[in-house]
A and B are shown apart, each in its own frame.
Chain A
Amino acid sequence: MAMETTTDRQEARGSSTSPTFLVVDDSPMDSLLAGKLLSKIEHSNIVYAKNGAEALELVEKTKPNLILTDLQMPEMDGLELVEAIRRRFPSIPTILMTANGSEDIALRALRRGAASYVPKRMLSTELLEIVRQISQVSWVGEQQRRIFGCWERLGLSFRLENDNSIIPPLVSHLQQYHSGIHAYDETESIRVGVALQEALRNAMHHGNLELSSEMRRENSDSYYQEAARRQHLPPFDRRRVIFTVDESPDESCYVIRDEGPGFDPSSVVDPLEGDNLLKPCGRGLFLIRMFMSEVRFNEKGNEITMIHRRSKAPSADTSIATTTHP
């Protein structure tokens, strides 16, 4: 069973100037009506199928820009067709034609991946506008995919104050880049996000604000209160965290430098050993080393370089316990 490939998408699949529309309906009259409306779009090609199974065969042959399908059909109904198209040809939008009273089913289809729906009684007034909107979104998405296929390098640099509340939105911002430029699965994205969050917090709290993890052992609330207090006191208030990101298709390189006195990374305890399980230290660095392909410190210990190399194949096992680094 063929799946849509990048090459398929890049072929002249009913280009935006000569679009191909696939109409799927077991009613000849309804099919003709929909086809006639779509033919008003300049240079359009209309192809027809009587049910979902026939439609799937035609999609492989004709690579339509958009599919307009009825819900109730023999052999394979509209819902099943929507799911199949979403799975096999995710870049082709599908619009459902609904009969009276089937809007609930249409909403289900939307949740399963349909781009929109139009009641049959409103085809003549609504269809062309919906097709125009969906086509525009689809075209933008296609262009973005082309752009992301061309990029070679992305560099970012941030200069941060010692307020750890900025860390989650910053990491989320980077994850949005990742979702566009990399084929990260969700687990990989979470792992990288956790490592970055730990490293940035370490730089702020332990590096710039010189807070010791032992303080959290006594009273974690007072540790965070002290962090808030030191942010505004000299010499801590002038110190910044410099965070640079260097992205390429195969790897991401993150460098985080604080302006504190530095530390000896070898002095950090192993948080998994014996009594250390209950101690409030070492977990952050442990997670960084688990989730990044390579981690190194400068001699002073105030700069960490973390490299994450992209997995070559999609990970079927989402277990975090898998710790093999590429």
Chain B
Amino acid sequence: MNPVQIQMLLGQGDIVVLELHGRLSRDEWMDNRDPIASACGDDIFSRKVMLSLANANYLDSTGVEWLLVSDQKFNDAGGKLVLHSASRTTSDFLKMMRMHLVLDLVPDEATARARLMNYSNGSPKNA
């Protein structure tokens, strides 16, 4: 199968650019390590991050849950996660689950970048 992988691209300023590839499901995680932390280190959650879902080719309830947990980790650490460029199928799936009400989900990279540029890093909630 095609377990989820996070690829870090060249960042822009204080914005970290990530791409997600593969199947967004915990059924295929080989270990318990969070994919974002595994790719970028634990301090990533205090940064401003735009994550492309364009290459996510599968999503289930565990994947949705991981997105929620990740979003919460960013909130708690004072960072910000913006999801963008989901395919029609993935986007419809997330909207069906009403995740557009709780996650920052935008249609494209430019909108994601603009959203993050206007965001000021908050203080970690658990500091």
Contact = CB atoms under 8 A, between A and B. Distances in A.
A169 to B, nearest CB: 6
Interface in A112-134: none
B61 interface: yes
B89 A224 contact: no
Contacts, number: 70
Interface stretch (B11-19, B94-102, B106-114): B94-102
B65 A216 contact: yes
A142 B65 CA distance: 44
Count class of interface residues, chain A = 20 to 34
B61 A284 contact: yes
Interface stretch (B23-31, B38-46, B76-84, B119-127): B23-31
A198 B61 contact: yes
A201 interface: yes
A170 to B, nearest CB: 10
A267 B38 CA distance: 36
Interface string A190-207: 100110011001000000
Is chain A's interface secondary structure helix, strand, loop, or mixed overall? helix
Nearest to A222: B32
Interface of B: 1, 23, 25-29, 32, 34, 58-62, 64-66, 68-69, 88-89, 92-93, 95-99, 101-102
27 contacts: A165-B27, A167-B27, A187-B89, A190-B58, A194-B58, A194-B59, A197-B27, A198-B60, A216-B65, A220-B66, A221-B32, A224-B32, A271-B97, A272-B97, A277-B99, A278-B102, A280-B68, A283-B61, A283-B65, A283-B97, A284-B60, A286-B61, A286-B97, A287-B61, A320-B89, A320-B92, A321-B96
